[in-house]
Structure 1
Amino acid sequence: MDTLWQIIKFLRAKAEKGKGERDYFIPEAWNYFGYTAFETDPARPGDIRVCPYHFFVTCLERQIFAGGAGEAAGPVGKEGSGLMGNGEAIYAMLPRTFTAWYHDRSGRLYPGTFLKSMALLPFLKELGVGIIYLLPVFATGTKYAKGEMGSPYAIKNHYRLAPKLHDPLLSGEIGIEDEFKAFIEACHRLGLKVIVDFVFRTVARDHDLIIDHPDWFYWIQLSKEDGFSLPPVEKVPPLTYPQGKALRRLYCGLVTRSYLQRFTCPPSVLAPGLWVEVKTRQRQTGENILTLIEEAFGITTVPGFSNMLNDPQPPWVDVTYLKLYYDLHREARICLGKPGPGPDPAFHGYAPFILQDGACANRYRGEQPNRELWAYLVDIIPYYQRVYGIDGARIDMGHALPPELLRTLLEKVKAANPAFLLWSEEFHPRNAANWKQHGFHLITGDLWALYKHWTEAGFMAKVIRHTLESALPVTAALETPDTPRLAYYYRDKRPIEILTLLNYLLPNSIPFLNNGLELLERQPMNLGLDNTEAGRFVLEPDDPMYGKLAFFDNYCLHWRNNDFAWMSGLLRKANNIRTRFFSVIQNPRNFLRSYSRQRRKNLLCLGYYSSQEKRGLVFLANKNLQEATEFRWRKVLPPPLRSNWELRLLYPAEKQRAWQWPLPEKGKLAPGEVIILGTGDGAEEA
Structure 2
Amino acid sequence: MKKESKLLKILEYLEANEAKETRSYFVPSLWLGQEQGASAPVETNPMTFFKEAIKEITAPTDSNVNYNYSLSKLRSDVHGNGGDWTYFSSFYNIFPRLTTAYDHDNDGHVGSDYRMDITSSENGFRETGTLLKCIALLKYIRNLGCNTVYMLPITSIGEDGNRGDLGSPYAIKDQYKLDPNLADPLIPFTVEEQFEAFVEAAHMMGMRVIMEFVLRTSSLGGDWVTTNPEWFYWIDRNRAHEYHSPEFPAHELTEIKKIPKGGGFHFAPSAEYRSLFKKPPRPEQIKIEDGKFVAYTDEGALIIPGAFADWPPDDIQPAWSDVTYLRMYDFPYEHQPNDYNYIAYDTIRYYNPELAQPNHVNRPLWDKISGVIPHYQQFGIDGVMIDMGHALPQPLMEEIIHKARKNDPDFAFCEENFDVTQKSRDAGFNAVLGHEWRVTARDKRDGIQRIVQDSNDYLALPYYGTPETHNTPRAMMRGGEPHCRISYVLNKFLPNSIPLIHQGFELLEEWPVNTGLNFLQSETDYYSNQRLPLFYKSALRWNNDHNLIGYIKYINSIYNQFGWMLNNEYLRGNENSMTIHYPENSYDSVIGFERFDPWHLDHTVLVLVNTDFHNQQDFYLNIPGTNNGKYWDFVEQKEYEFVDNWVSGTLQPGQSIIMEIRKLV
Matched, 1:24 2:35: no
| Post-superposition CA distance 1:51-73 (Å, at most 9, x none) | 111111111112x1114598545
| Post-superposition CA distance 1:220-257 (Å, at most 9, x none) | 12233346312322326799747499765663xxxx22
Matched, 1:448 2:437: yes
Aligned equivalent of 1:607: 594
Task: Work out whether residues 110 and 537 of structure 2, in 8 Å CA contact, stay in contact via their aligned partners in 1.
Answer: no
After TM superposition, give the deviation of residue 116 of structure 1 in Å.
Answer: 0.5
Task: Work out whether residues 294 and 300 of structure 1, in 8 Å CA contact, stay in contact via their aligned partners in 2.
Answer: no
Distance 1:311 1:597, change over 3 A: farther
Deviates more, 1:193-202 or 1:353-362: 353-362
Distance 1:299 1:550, change over 3 A: same
| Post-superposition CA distance 1:527-567 (Å, at most 9, x none) | 1111256436889xxxxx99222211112111111222xx1
Task: Work out whether residues 523 and 538 of structure 1, in 8 Å CA contact, stay in contact via their aligned partners in 2.
Answer: no
Distance 1:345 1:227, change over 3 A: closer
User: Aligned partners of 1:486, 1:458: CA distance in 2, in Å?
Assistant: 13
User: Aligned partners of 2:544, 2:387: CA distance in 1, in Å?
Assistant: 32
Task: Work out whether residues 79 and 410 of structure 2, in 8 Å CA contact, stay in contact via their aligned partners in 1.
Answer: no
Distance 1:118 1:409, change over 3 A: same
Distance 1:238 1:94, change over 3 A: farther
Aligned equivalent of 2:233: 218
Out of 601, 604, 608, the position equivalent to 1:620 is 608
Task: Work out whether residues 445 and 611 of structure 2, in 8 Å CA contact, stay in contact via their aligned partners in 1.
Answer: no
User: Aligned partners of 1:80, 1:245: CA distance in 2, in Å?
Assistant: 33
| Identical-pair percentage | 28
Out of 9, 14, 18, the position equivalent to 1:11 is 14
User: Aligned partners of 1:124, 1:105: CA distance in 2, in Å?
Assistant: 24
Task: Work out whether residues 486 and 656 of structure 2, in 8 Å CA contact, stay in contact via their aligned partners in 1.
Answer: yes
User: Aligned partners of 1:568, 1:537: CA distance in 2, in Å?
Assistant: 32
Matched, 1:133 2:150: yes
- Trace 1:202-601 onto structure 2 (pairs within 5 A): 202-226=217-241, 228-235=243-250, 241=257, 243=259, 251=269, 256-268=270-282, 276=284, 278=286, 290-291=292-293, 293=295, 298-308=301-311, 309-327=313-331, 344-346=333-335, 348=337, 352-360=341-349, 364=353, 365-367=355-357, 368-386=360-378, 388-429=379-420, 431=421, 433-452=422-441, 455-456=444-445, 460-461=449-450, 463-465=452-454, 468-491=457-480, 493-532=481-520, 534-535=522-523, 547-564=530-547, 567-586=548-567, 587=571, 588=574, 591-595=577-581, 601=587
> How many residues in Structure 1 have an aligned counterpart in Structure 2?
618
User: Aligned partners of 2:576, 2:338: CA distance in 1, in Å?
Assistant: 62
Task: Work out whether residues 231 and 328 of structure 2, in 8 Å CA contact, stay in contact via their aligned partners in 1.
Answer: yes
User: Aligned partners of 1:366, 1:482: CA distance in 2, in Å?
Assistant: 31
Out of 50, 59, 66, the position equivalent to 1:66 is 59
| Post-superposition CA distance 1:283-330 (Å, at most 9, x none) | xxxx988435489963211111122211155432211111111117xx
Deviates more, 1:392-401 or 1:445-454: 445-454
User: Aligned partners of 1:419, 1:396: CA distance in 2, in Å?
Assistant: 20
After TM superposition, give the deviation of residue 351 of structure 1 in Å.
Answer: 8.8
After TM superposition, give the deviation of residue 421 of structure 1 in Å.
Answer: 0.8
Distance 1:579 1:188, change over 3 A: same
What amino acid maps onto 2:553 in structure 1?
R
Task: Work out whether residues 7 and 198 of structure 2, in 8 Å CA contact, stay in contact via their aligned partners in 1.
Answer: yes
Distance 1:641 1:118, change over 3 A: farther
Out of 174, 179, 186, the position equivalent to 1:157 is 174
What amino acid maps onto 2:561 in structure 1?
R
Distance 1:148 1:641, change over 3 A: farther
Task: Work out whether residues 98 and 515 of structure 1, in 8 Å CA contact, stay in contact via their aligned partners in 2.
Answer: yes
User: Aligned partners of 2:584, 2:329: CA distance in 1, in Å?
Assistant: 51
After TM superposition, give the deviation of residue 101 of structure 1 in Å.
Answer: 1.6
Task: Work out whether residues 393 and 421 of structure 1, in 8 Å CA contact, stay in contact via their aligned partners in 2.
Answer: yes
Q: Secondary structure at the match of 1:480?
A: coil
Matched, 1:180 2:195: yes
After TM superposition, give the deviation of residue 399 of structure 1 in Å.
Answer: 0.9
TM-score, normalization by structure 1: 0.82
Structure 2: which 5+ runs fail to align?
112-126
Distance 1:537 1:257, change over 3 A: closer
Task: Work out whether residues 221 and 300 of structure 1, in 8 Å CA contact, stay in contact via their aligned partners in 2.
Answer: yes
Deviates more, 1:312-321 or 1:147-156: 312-321
User: Aligned partners of 2:447, 2:189: CA distance in 1, in Å?
Assistant: 56
Q: Secondary structure at the match of 1:168?
A: coil
Task: Work out whether residues 113 and 166 of structure 1, in 8 Å CA contact, stay in contact via their aligned partners in 2.
Answer: yes
- Trace 1:19-98 onto structure 2 (pairs within 5 A): 21-32=22-33, 46-62=40-56, 64-67=57-60, 72=71, 82-83=84-85, 87-98=88-99
Task: Work out whether residues 28 and 39 of structure 2, in 8 Å CA contact, stay in contact via their aligned partners in 1.
Answer: no
Distance 1:295 1:176, change over 3 A: farther
Larger % of helix: which? 1
What amino acid maps onto 2:387 in structure 1?
D
Task: Work out whether residues 89 and 510 of structure 1, in 8 Å CA contact, stay in contact via their aligned partners in 2.
Answer: yes
After TM superposition, give the deviation of residue 382 of structure 1 in Å.
Answer: 0.6
What amino acid maps onto 2:11 in structure 1?
I
Aligned equivalent of 1:102: 103
Q: Secondary structure at the match of 2:545?
A: coil
Aligned equivalent of 2:206: 191
What amino acid maps onto 2:496 in structure 1?
N
What amino acid maps onto 1:374 in structure 2?
W
After TM superposition, give the deviation of residue 145 of structure 1 in Å.
Answer: 1.2
After TM superposition, give the deviation of residue 569 of structure 1 in Å.
Answer: 1.5
Aligned equivalent of 2:121: none
What amino acid maps onto 1:604 in structure 2?
I
Task: Work out whether residues 391 and 420 of structure 1, in 8 Å CA contact, stay in contact via their aligned partners in 2.
Answer: yes
Aligned equivalent of 1:677: 659
After TM superposition, give the deviation of residue 353 of structure 1 in Å.
Answer: 1.7
TM-score, normalization by structure 2: 0.84
| Post-superposition CA distance 1:138-173 (Å, at most 9, x none) | 111100111111111111111110011010101xx3
Task: Work out whether residues 605 and 658 of structure 2, in 8 Å CA contact, stay in contact via their aligned partners in 1.
Answer: yes
After TM superposition, give the deviation of residue 466 of structure 1 in Å.
Answer: 5.7
Matched, 1:118 2:135: yes
| Cα-Cα RMSD | 3.4
After TM superposition, give the deviation of residue 439 of structure 1 in Å.
Answer: 2.6
Task: Work out whether residues 468 and 508 of structure 1, in 8 Å CA contact, stay in contact via their aligned partners in 2.
Answer: no
| Post-superposition CA distance 1:637-659 (Å, at most 9, x none) | 522445455x322112xx34x66
| Post-superposition CA distance 1:420-458 (Å, at most 9, x none) | 0111222112x3x22222332111111111213555458
